[in-house]
Structure 1
Amino acid sequence: MRVLLVHKFHKYTGGADVFYLEVGRVLKDHGHDVAYFSTIDSDTLDNAYKDYFVKAPDFKTGGILGQVKAFLKIPYNFEAKKAIGRLLDDFNPDIVHAFGVITQLSPSVFDAVSSRNIPLVVSLNDYKHICPNYKLFHHGHLCEDCKGGTFYKAITNKCSHNSLKFSIASSLESYIHNFLDIYKKNIDLFLFASDFMAHKTEDFWGYNTFNWGKLKNPFKISTRAIEQNKDDYGLYFGRLIEEKGVDLILKALVDNKDIPFKIIGNGPELEPLKNLAIQLNLSNVEFLGAKWGDELEDILYKAKFTVVPSVWHENFPYVILQSFAAEVPVLGSNLGGIPELVSNERGLLFDVNRINSLSSAIRELYDNNLLRKKMGENAREFVLYNFNDTSFYKEILLNYESVLK
């Protein structure tokens, strides 16, 4: 089978990029001919198809005229459509699997695929198809104001980067995509990693109005040996941004000042979080900055537990699988796809609206060594069984074959 994979970045910048590149790795390992289409810059990973890649819109240079031209590419990028058309004609894939295309490539690439009658499946990992700012969250709270196609509310809420300019662009983008019906008319199968996102899409678009399947994100399990003797700390690792809810951890630690806690990550909330820790008189919290690879695993594999306190409907956090692979149980918020991964056998869920719910969960897992060890073992077994290459390949092939028939 010849498969073309499409994504806005051909490099590692986050979980969505890992998903896209891991799909390519698994397909090639199983003998499929895989091509890629993406944007290109100095950090793009080398590959045989980079001559087809396009430059992403540049919103920061070129003056006002250049920025206007860049913004005009967001809803419909004719350059990307033409470039992928050349690759489609030269590579002649049996199927196209797209991931994140918004902003950098645009759904114009979908039109190029469907006009050639090539089956198209799309993995959706955020809510951009139903929400102009892609998060169903802004200014500290969950939001579904644009349900029913009232995308102008993204402007009144100024919900895209808290910027009127970006909110106008995001609102117009959604109106154009809705008018063109660019998703449902072109895509043969939508793939979701969580049931939550699939059902939330049905809430917005209507039940039985589109075809969808389940495809959990691929995950390459580290070969590092499990630490049998954990060190004395809890851990958060990830981006330090508002919707990740890291402030909830600090507030929950007010009643647990004897429990050491490490925070790994960087982002716009780093300084506010440091200031909050000072205000709450938390001498037990250590901010370690960004860590990757072995440096991250050195800390993760020795943690007693990790906390995933997202206050938005996060779809499928990789940090949960990373924790599980390290035999570390997870305290997760009760939103989005998190409850589908975290269960009483592998960790604890807490109510994001009740700080004492998280406080008591932290205390329970910290104090109960036997419970923590059992949950950690269950968590690793869950990852080993459900996220190995064989299981993932079987799942993706079933979805592809449902379209190819």
Structure 2
Amino acid sequence: MPKILSINNYHYRRGGSDVVYLDHAALMEEQGWINGFFSMNHSKNLDTLWSKYFIDEIEFGHAYSLGQKLAMASKVVYSFEAQNKLKRLLQDFPADIAHLHCVYHHLSPSIISTLRDTGVPVVMTAHDLKIACPAYKMLNDTGVCEKCKEGNLLNVVKHRCVRDSLTASAIVMVESIVHRMLNTYQGKLDKVVVPSRFFMEKFIEWGWPGDKFAYIPNFVDSTRFEPSYNPGNYFLYFGRIAPEKGIATLMRAAKAAGIKLKIAGTGPIEAELHTLQAELQGDIEFLGYKLGSELHALIRDARAVVLPSEWYENAPMSVLESFALGTPIIGARIGGIPEMLIEGETGWTFESRNSEELTDLLSRVVDMPLTQMANAGRNARNHVTSNFNRARYLQATLELYASLGVKH
């Protein structure tokens, strides 16, 4: 049986990319593939025998000494620890193919060279824009940014694109310069999987050859989601509470439209949004972090889930999960979100950052008859079941692996 090595910074369901990493590996195991894993040690990791190969934890929010910070900075640029531990893993587990997910800033892109040197075909799923934009979001405090497209990476430091920090931005700039010089991404990755057409088009705009990409949309197993088609009286945002998610814009629109809004999640601007709520005095409820059946119930009972993003989203799993639970989406027209919806059938879109247009849309949706909302939920469920399913994802993945000489 073929052996697949799945590689990701975290070995637990921390965010959408980590969910894809674990679900992809589980799907391949169901097909008889033998799984191996390479990641970073972390207190929340799922138990695994592979942890003996994992690198030491790096968490930038923790308190570290100056020496520790310098050591971490060097690992961000080029991690010899990750290379050495990966070499040891490959000696014990001669993989037929390696599938990378998010590896930078922790494992570091240096492992791509290690894999290449051992002759293992290397596929990477682009969960974000890192292989083009050093700061991975094409975003700074002024909004969407593509200033590095022409190659001047000093913009990363000039605009403090990483955490609004001069030091962090300088480290990431150096990392990007080093790996561009080494041609790590374009030269050593065999294929890049893109879950959205928008990302593929954006990478090509930034100078990548089109034949480097394979468009494979994410999937959900709809059988694990139970819809009810009984829309409630509130709108829901769930996910990370971060500036680029547009939650402040949503809160202002919710107040203006006079609708009930629930926000589930945690993140760096929670306190800021609580302050905004104290000013707005809207019908807005912060629920904290939710997962599993409790989160599913919130999604299922919502009138609609809102994605008010203000950056180039890729292909949010939150869209697919909402659809699987029979709940339509209100999404910003930015990044890969619009291509996941059927306008007026499975959801509705509005101009990103446009609070007035969002206010109008929320007002219209809250006044729609329940039968119309239930039909939108059924359309959403049918859409995800037909177009974002396991079978299509698996077929495309196996065809990709076969094109690299790895067959089941």
Is the TM value for this pair above 0.5? yes
Quick one: structure 1 residues 170 and 49, their matched pair in 2 at CA, closer, same or farther if it must change by over 3 Å?
Answer: same
RMSD (Å), alpha carbons: 1.7
| Aligned amino acid, residue 253 of structure 2 | A
Matches of 1:318 and 1:222, distance apart in 2: 16
User: Within 5 Å, which residues of 2 pair with 1:356-367?
Assistant: 356-367=356-367
Match of 1:195 among 197, 200, 212: 197
The answer for the alignment partner of 1:322 in structure 2 is 321
Seq. identity, %: 31
Structure 1 unmatched ranges of 5 or more: none
After TM superposition, the structure 1 = structure 2 runs for residues 278-297 of structure 1, keeping only pairs within 5 Å, are: 278-282=278-282, 284-297=283-296
Contact 1:56 1:105 in 2 (8 A): no
Q: Say whether 1:205 aligns with 2:231.
A: no
When residues 221 and 354 of structure 1 are mapped into structure 2, their CA distance, relative to the original with a 3 A threshold, is same
2:72 aligns to what?
A: 70
Q: Structure 2 CA distance, aligned partners of 1:387 and 1:183?
A: 28
- The equivalent of 1:342 in structure 2 is 341
Name the CA distance, whole Å, in 2 between partners of 1:50 and 1:64. Answer: 27
Deviations 1:249-299, CA, capped at 9 Å, x for gaps: 122123311x222111222222222222332332x2222222111111222
Matching residue of 2:98: 96
- Distance in 1 between residues matched to 2:112 and 2:281, nearest whole Å: 53
1:387 aligns with 2:388: yes
Letter of the aligned partner of 2:98 in structure 1?
A: V
Equivalent residue, structure 2, for 1:30: 31
Distance 1:382 1:189 in 2: 28
Q: CA 1:197–1:224 in 2, change beyond 3 Å: closer, same or farther?
A: closer
The answer for unaligned runs of 5 or more in structure 2 is none
Q: Is the 8 A contact 1:23 1:218 kept in 2?
A: no
Assess if the C-alpha contact under 8 Å between 1:140 and 1:243 holds in 2: no
1:204-223 equivalences in 2 (<5 Å): 204-208=206-210, 211-221=212-222, 223=224
**Counterpart-to-counterpart distance in 1, 2:379 and 2:278:** 36
Residues of 2 paired with 1:267 and 1:186: CA distance? 34
Closer/same/farther in 2, CA of residues 23 and 57 from structure 1, 3 Å limit: same
Q: Give the counterpart of 1:152 among 154, 159, 162.
A: 154
Alignment of 1:228-243 (within 5 A): 228-243=229-244
Ranges of 4+ aligned residues in structure 1 off by more than 3 Å = 56-62, 220-225
The reply on whether 1:312 has 2:314 as its aligned counterpart is no
Work out the CA distance in 1 between the residues paired with 2:226 and 2:59: 44
Shift of 1:144: 0.8
Say which is worse superposed, 142-151 or 324-333, in terms of deviation.
Answer: 142-151
Q: Is the 8 A contact 1:22 1:219 kept in 2?
A: no
Structure 1: how far apart are the matches of 2:208 and 2:189? 16
Q: CA deviation at 1:150?
A: 0.9
Instruction: Indicate how the Cα distance of structure 1 residues 224 and 58 shifts in structure 2: closer, same or farther if over 3 A, else same.
Output: closer
Residues 365 and 371 of structure 1 are in contact (CA less than 8 Å); yes or no, is this contact kept in structure 2? no
Aligned to 1:122: 124
TM-score of the two chains, using structure 1 as the length reference = 0.95
For the 8 Å contact 2:229–2:374, the answer to whether it is kept is no
Question: How far has the Cα of 1:234 moved from its partner?
Answer: 1.1
Could you list the per-position Cα deviations for residues 223-263 of structure 1 after superposition, in whole angstroms to 9, with x for gaps in the alignment? 35322432211111111110000111122123311x22211
Structure 2 match to 1:303: 302
- The aligned amino acid for 2:296 is E
1:143 maps to 145
1:368 counterpart residue number: 368
Greater shift after overlay, 272-281 or 133-142?
272-281
Q: Which residue pairs with 2:271 in the alignment?
A: 271
Question: Relative to 1, partners in 2 of residues 1:206 and 1:95: Cα closer, same or farther, differing over 3 Å?
Answer: closer
SS in 1 for 2:77: coil
**Are 1:261 and 1:285, in contact at CA under 8 Å, matched by a contact in 2?**
yes
> What SS does the corresponding residue of 1:134 show, helix, strand or coil?
coil
The match for 2:167 among 158, 165, 168 is 165
Q: How many residues align?
A: 402
Which residue identity lines up with residue 384 of structure 1 in the other structure? T
Q: Partner of 1:73: helix, strand, or coil?
A: helix
Q: Which amino acid counterpart does residue 181 of structure 1 have in structure 2?
A: N
Q: Which residue of 2 aligns with 1:177?
A: 179
